[in-house]
């Protein structure tokens, strides 16, 4: 099915309108105390109220990100006041708020927090209208993982056709996006991942070579690319990052995406010096905040490419809302493949 324009999506929403009254309370996962276990409690809390610059969204699916596993344990760089509802990515339908989009518009959006709930507030500047046919998991990946990786590879990494790209955690959400985009950008892509199933997922995403992260991947990279890799995409950090600097080409770019391995990377600066290489941090949320026009351009690109059938998306997994603790545990344990999300079922219908 061809992609629908924002105007077409909005016109559909106008004709449908909203008919179901909003409840007074909603289900939400709450962090009431910080602990290494990352314990959450399922509570019934009042609906949030849309203010200036925000929409109230009935959540259909809430994206799971590795940052959520740190946030619930108090180990993320942002620490909301207790109690709080995690969840920074949502797909759903606008049910309240004054803005350019009408009630009834189906959207994908980032949100400050609060996505692990029946309803959430979405900043109007972050909302992206989507058609009814786009699956929730794909919409979430295209709204977060793919723009993150496109910015990282194109702007931070300056990846060029014919260069070699090394992607760690290549079967994960952002990693698989980087693999797919790297191939689209004309690079030779080497991916690392743990276990046969994840290695196969890397190949399905487009990797030319998939290496077991539990083996001697460094020796394999050096054997395959004696001159070194041009760009390293690293969401893992720790020792993986340290070892990555031992296989850099002259002028290489090492991209710091995150620390899914559980520890920060202590970079050996001499490796950067010897190769005239650079280390560049990538934080997509700051890109959206500081340059919303660029963020919108990159987001539109990946949605258009997907509509044209030019991007490879791994299937990922949707978890039932009540399985949120188990879903975060799987993500923290790096036991997931592709995008992960919570699915929320609502009683009744929203539209006429």
Q: Which residues lie below 8 Å from residue 237, measured CB to CB, with a gap of 6+?
A: 256, 258, 259, 260, 261, 262, 263, 264, 265
Alpha carbons 259 and 286: distance in angstroms, whole number: 17
Stretch 212-221: mean pLDDT, rounded? 97
Task: List, for residues 83-107, the tens digit of each pLDDT value.
Answer: 999 999 999 999 999 999 999 999 9
Q: Are 112 and 121 in contact (CB under 8 A)?
A: yes
The 3-state DSSP class for residue 175 equals helix
**How many residues are recorded in the chain?**
352
Residue 350 φ/ψ region, left for φ over 0, alpha for ψ in the -120 to 50 degree band, beta for the rest: alpha
The pLDDT of residue 8 is 43
Alpha carbons 172 and 139: distance in angstroms, whole number: 16
Using pLDDT thresholds of 50, 70 and 90, give the confidence band for residue 311: confident
Q: Is the pLDDT of residue 9 over 80?
A: no
In the chain, what is the straight-line distance between the N-terminal and C-terminal CA atoms, in Å?
24
Q: Where are the beta strands (DSSP E) in 130-277?
A: 164-167, 188-193, 209-212, 229-234, 248-256
Using pLDDT thresholds of 50, 70 and 90, give the confidence band for residue 12: very low
Among the ranges given (7-16, 196-205, 250-259, 298-307), the one the predictor scored with the smallest mean pLDDT: 7-16
The pLDDT of residue 20 is 65
Stretch 10-24: mean pLDDT, rounded? 57
- What number of CA atoms fall less than 13 Å from residue 317's CA on the CB side? 16
The pLDDT of residue 348 is 52
Alpha carbons 351 and 347: distance in angstroms, whole number: 12
The 3-state DSSP class for residue 151 equals helix
The pLDDT of residue 333 is 85
Using pLDDT thresholds of 50, 70 and 90, give the confidence band for residue 274: very high
The pLDDT of residue 116 is 98
Task: List, for residues 319-338, the tens digit of each pLDDT value.
Answer: 999 999 999 999 988 888 99
Residues facing residue 119 across a β-bridge: 58
Share of the chain above pLDDT 70, in %: 93
Q: Which residues lie below 8 Å from residue 261, measured CB to CB, with a gap of 6+?
A: 236, 237, 238, 239, 240
Stretch 103-122: mean pLDDT, rounded? 95
Burial of 280 (0-12, 13-18, 19+ CB in 10 A): middle
Alpha carbons 251 and 253: distance in angstroms, whole number: 7
Find tokens 């994960």 and name the residue: 172
Domains of the chain, earliest start first: 6-134+316-343 (3.90.180.10), 160-286 (3.40.50.720)
Q: Is the pLDDT of residue 112 over 90?
A: no
Q: Is the pLDDT of residue 7 over 70?
A: no
Q: Is the pLDDT of residue 16 over 60?
A: no
Query: Sheet containing 248-256: which strands, arranged edge to edge?
Result: 209-212, 188-193, 164-167, 229-234, 248-256, 278-281
Task: List, for residues 136-155, the tens digit of each pLDDT value.
Answer: 999 999 999 999 999 999 99
| 7 or 136, which is more confident | 136
Tokens for 274?
């010897």
Residue 54 φ/ψ region, left for φ over 0, alpha for ψ in the -120 to 50 degree band, beta for the rest: beta
The pLDDT of residue 17 is 42
Share of the chain above pLDDT 90, in %: 78
Alpha carbons 160 and 169: distance in angstroms, whole number: 21
Stretch 178-192: mean pLDDT, rounded? 97
Alpha carbons 122 and 105: distance in angstroms, whole number: 13
| 238 or 3, which is more confident | 238
Alpha carbons 317 and 64: distance in angstroms, whole number: 10
């Amino acid at each position: 099915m061809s992609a629908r324009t924002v105007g077409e999506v909005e016109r559909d929403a106008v004709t449908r309108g909203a008919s179901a009254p909003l409840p007074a309370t909603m289900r939400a996962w709450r962090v009431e105390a910080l602990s290494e276990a990352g314990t959450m409690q399922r509570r019934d809390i009042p609906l949030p109220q849309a203010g200036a610059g925000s929409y109230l969204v009935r959540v259909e699916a809430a994206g799971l990100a590795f940052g959520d596993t740190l946030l619930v344990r108090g180990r993320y760089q942002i620490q909301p006041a207790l109690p709080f509802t995690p969840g920074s990515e949502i797909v759903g339908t606008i049910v309240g708020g004054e803005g350019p989009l009408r009630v009834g518009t189906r959207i994908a959006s980032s949100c400050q927090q609060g996505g692990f709930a029946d309803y959430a507030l979405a900043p109007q500047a972050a909302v992206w209208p989507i058609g009814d046919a786009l699956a929730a998991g794909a919409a979430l990946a295209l709204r977060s993982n793919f723009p993150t990786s496109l910015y990282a590879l194109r702007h931070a990494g300056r990846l060029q056709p014919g260069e070699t790209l090394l992607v760690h955690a290549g079967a994960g959400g952002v990693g698989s996006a980087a693999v797919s985009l790297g191939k689209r950008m004309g690079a030779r892509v080497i991916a690392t991942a743990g276990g046969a199933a994840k290695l196969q997922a890397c190949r399905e995403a487009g990797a030319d070579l998939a290496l077991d992260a539990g083996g001697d991947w460094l020796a394999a990279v050096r054997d395959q690319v004696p001159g070194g890799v041009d760009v390293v995409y690293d969401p893992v950090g720790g020792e993986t990052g340290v070892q990555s600097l031992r296989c850099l080409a002259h002028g290489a770019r090492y991209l710091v995406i995150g620390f899914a391995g559980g520890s920060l990377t202590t970079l050996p600066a001499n490796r950067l010096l010897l190769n005239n290489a650079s280390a560049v941090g990538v934080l997509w949320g700051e890109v959206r905040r500081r340059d919303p026009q660029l963020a919108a351009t990159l987001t539109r690109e990946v949605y258009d490419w997907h509509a044209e059938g030019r991007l490879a998306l791994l299937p990922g997994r949707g978890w039932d809302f009540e399985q949120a603790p188990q879903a975060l545990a799987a993500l923290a344990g790096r036991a997931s493949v592709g995008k992960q999300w919570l699915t929320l079922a609502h009683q009744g219908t929203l539209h006429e």
